[in-house]
Amino acid sequence: MNGTTATVGRDVGRILEALGGLMIVSIVVSLVWREWFGAVAFGASALVPLSVGYGLHRRFAGADSPSRLHGMVVAATGWLLVGVFGSLPFLLVAWGVHLGLPTTIEGTPTLAAFREPLNAVFESTSGFTGTGLTMTDNEEVLPRSLQWWRTFIEWIGGVGVIVLTTAILARPGSGSLTLYESEARSEKIHPSIVSTVRTIWWIFLLFTFVSILALFLAGMPPWDAINHAMTGLATGGFSITDNSIATYDSAAIDAALIPIMLLGSIAFPVHYLILQGDLRNFYADLQTRWVFIYMSLGSALLWAFLYVGPYDSPGAALRYGAFQFVSAATCTGFQTAVDATNVALGAWPAQAQLLVAFGMFVGGAAGSTVGGIKIIRGLTLIKGIRYHVADVFYPDSAVRRLEINGRRLTETEANREFIEATIITALWTTFLVVGTVLLLVVLPAEEYSLANAFFEVASAQGNVGLSAGITGPDSMPAVGKVAFLGHMWIGRLEIIPILVALRTLFNRGGMYP
């Protein structure tokens, strides 16, 4: 069978099958923690995406390989559905406890929040997109099964559900490349895309094990180390403690997490070269070099803002400033600045909050696990503007080249890359502004400032997860939650695939001229 519906249906079906597999794997964790009802909930939840996915996959088995259009629609639809179906374990556990089904899981207000489907979908989408904003009041009291599910979906989402699907349900041919590129990735480690995604997972797994043990050495208990290493490396930021990383109030843990978050913000092909001993890439690769320059400059500036602001000692300003800037700019969202141990992020001076928001806006390297517009686009914009301004000073006949990351681009190539970076940045900014205005409209008047609202929307759209205190099951109105679902979705896929999918939908539904 041919046509967009068939191709999209088949590939979305495969993604849902992979999601069902993740739920099945998670049963082991419930069994280890003797949360039998968690195991049942995972099993029952898995049946839904597995059946739907299998049905779609079988129904459209003979569909054509995806084109670029199909790839974008698959990515947009797949990520949307993964967020929806991924909410099932939250819903089932919360309702099972509420209905008094036989379980050892304790009913708490935090768990009860997930009886509301919108909260469960929010949590799931926040996890898969690697955002980390949460609908829980106190993560510590969640059952281990749900703590794991939140961690696991962030870990998977950091690399990408399509990358996962391609790795485990490998299909040779151009279709895999198209899908891979539609998930905001373009870098290749090997000529074959299937080999590339398998190597990405190989690197990610190895780094995960190293990170878990490094956090354990820094003082975290094993379960905490496993969860925080996974969400830190995936630059997701979900925590299993009430006050995120501030709970430990440990400089050693803060220091161990900074390199883990930085690892997550470096592109996988660079990791591959570094593992082979080519450490030059730390400074030779443009994006990686700028990751370190940008993190250092941002941390230094934030330290200055905080030292003349709410913190008394330069040491405290450095510790919290550096951690929060790296956490924001790598789009992780771990928080050490809370009132319980120092000064909450929402109470920082406006210039400090805006600097952290700027960090979230730019993000880390393309081809890594981070959100934001990505450093390479920022550099392309800067170089492109300089190139176009300098153009005036050259004769019309001059042949000019723009050099980006060791590539010498012709005028046509330079214009194409500049336009792409400009479009993404303009759309990103537009959605950020619209989202901020909408949030201010729906929030109770006088309760939050413009800086707070801007910060929160930038955090959602940059897939960061730092909060100025607006996001929560009760503090955020339903309209705000729906809007944030959109921000997280467009942020993860870098906007264009979503717009293409919507245009396709409207076009085929006769709603588009």
Partner 1 sequence: MNLGDFPIVGAVYESGADDRIYDGLLLVGPVVILLIAVLVTVFERSLIVELLAAGYVGVFLGYVLYRWMAH
Residue of 14, 57, 198, 228 that binds partner 1 (CB under 8 A): 198
Residue of 151, 199, 235, 324 that binds partner 1 (CB under 8 A): 199
Tell me: does residue 279 bind partner 1 (CB under 8 A): yes
The smaller minimum CB distance to partner 1, of residues 194 and 301, is found at 194
3-state helix, strand, coil in the chain (%, to 5): 70, 0, 30
Tell me: does residue 376 bind partner 1 (CB under 8 A): no
Considering only 108-116, 177-185, 199-207, 323-331, which stretch makes contact with partner 1 by CB under 8 A? 199-207
Quote the CA–CA distance of 157 and 163 in Å, as a whole number. Answer: 9
R_g over Cα of the chain: 22
Tell me: does residue 202 bind partner 1 (CB under 8 A): yes
Considering only 99-107, 203-211, 409-417, 466-474, which stretch makes contact with partner 1 by CB under 8 A? 203-211
Tell me: does residue 276 bind partner 1 (CB under 8 A): yes
Residues 166-195 that bind partner 1 (CB under 8 A): 195
Tell me: does residue 260 bind partner 1 (CB under 8 A): no
Residue 150: which of 161, 139, 160, 159 has the closest Cα? 139
Evaluate whether 262 touches 326 at the Cβ level (below 8 Å): yes
DSSP per-residue letters across 144-185: HHHHHHHHHHHHHHHH-HHHHHHHHS---SHHHHHHHHHTT-
Residue of 98, 209, 252, 308 that binds partner 1 (CB under 8 A): 209
- List the beta strands (DSSP E) in 267-414: 402-404, 407-409
CB of 292: closest distance to partner 1 in angstroms?
17
DSSP 113: G
CB of 177: closest distance to partner 1 in angstroms?
18
Residue of 277, 406, 509, 510 that binds partner 1 (CB under 8 A): 277
The smaller minimum CB distance to partner 1, of residues 222 and 315, is found at 222
List phi, psi (to 5°) of 332: -85, -60
Torsion of CA 289, 290, 291, 297, to 10 degrees: 120
Using the Cα atoms of residue 321, residue 323, residue 329 and residue 333 in order, give the sign of their dihedral: negative
User: Within 13 A of 168's CA, how many CA atoms are on the CB side?
Assistant: 16
CB of 217: closest distance to partner 1 in angstroms?
5
- Beta bridge partners of residue 408, listed in sequence order: 403
Evaluate whether 110 touches 139 at the Cβ level (below 8 Å): yes
Tell me: does residue 275 bind partner 1 (CB under 8 A): yes
The smaller minimum CB distance to partner 1, of residues 235 and 281, is found at 281
Considering only 117-125, 210-218, 421-429, 449-457, which stretch makes contact with partner 1 by CB under 8 A? 210-218
Considering only 204-212, 239-247, 472-480, 490-498, which stretch makes contact with partner 1 by CB under 8 A? 204-212
- Beta bridge partners of residue 404, listed in sequence order: 407
CB of 261: closest distance to partner 1 in angstroms?
17
Quote the CA–CA distance of 28 and 25 in Å, as a whole number. Answer: 6
Q: How many residues bind partner 1 (CB under 8 A)?
A: 26
| Per-position x/- string for 211-250, each x denoting binding to partner 1 as judged by CB under 8 A, each - no binding | -xxx-xx---xxx--x------------------------
CB of 200: closest distance to partner 1 in angstroms?
9
Q: C-alpha 381: how far from its chain's center?
A: 23
Evaluate whether 294 touches 414 at the Cβ level (below 8 Å): no
Q: C-alpha 101: how far from its chain's center?
A: 34
- DSSP alpha helices (H): ranges in 372-410? 375-391
CB of 24: closest distance to partner 1 in angstroms?
17
CB of 52: closest distance to partner 1 in angstroms?
28
Tell me: does residue 297 bind partner 1 (CB under 8 A): no
Residue of 153, 274, 322, 404 that binds partner 1 (CB under 8 A): 274
Tell me: does residue 6 bind partner 1 (CB under 8 A): no
Residue of 51, 104, 278, 400 that binds partner 1 (CB under 8 A): 278
Tell me: does residue 283 bind partner 1 (CB under 8 A): no
Q: Which amino acid is at 280?
A: R
CB of 132: closest distance to partner 1 in angstroms?
23
Q: What's the first-to-final CA gap in the chain, in angstroms?
A: 27
Quote the CA–CA distance of 504 and 182 in Å, as a whole number. Answer: 15
CB of 9: closest distance to partner 1 in angstroms?
29
CB of 247: closest distance to partner 1 in angstroms?
18
The smaller minimum CB distance to partner 1, of residues 279 and 423, is found at 279
Check residue 403 and give left, alpha or beta (phi > 0: left; psi -120 to 50: alpha).
beta
Evaluate whether 322 touches 268 at the Cβ level (below 8 Å): no
Quote the CA–CA distance of 79 and 493 in Å, as a whole number. Answer: 9
CB of 311: closest distance to partner 1 in angstroms?
32
Torsion of CA 271, 277, 283, 289, to 10 degrees: 10
Give the residues lining the site for partner 1 (CB under 8 A).
195, 198-199, 201-202, 205-206, 208-210, 212-214, 216-217, 221-223, 226, 272, 274-279
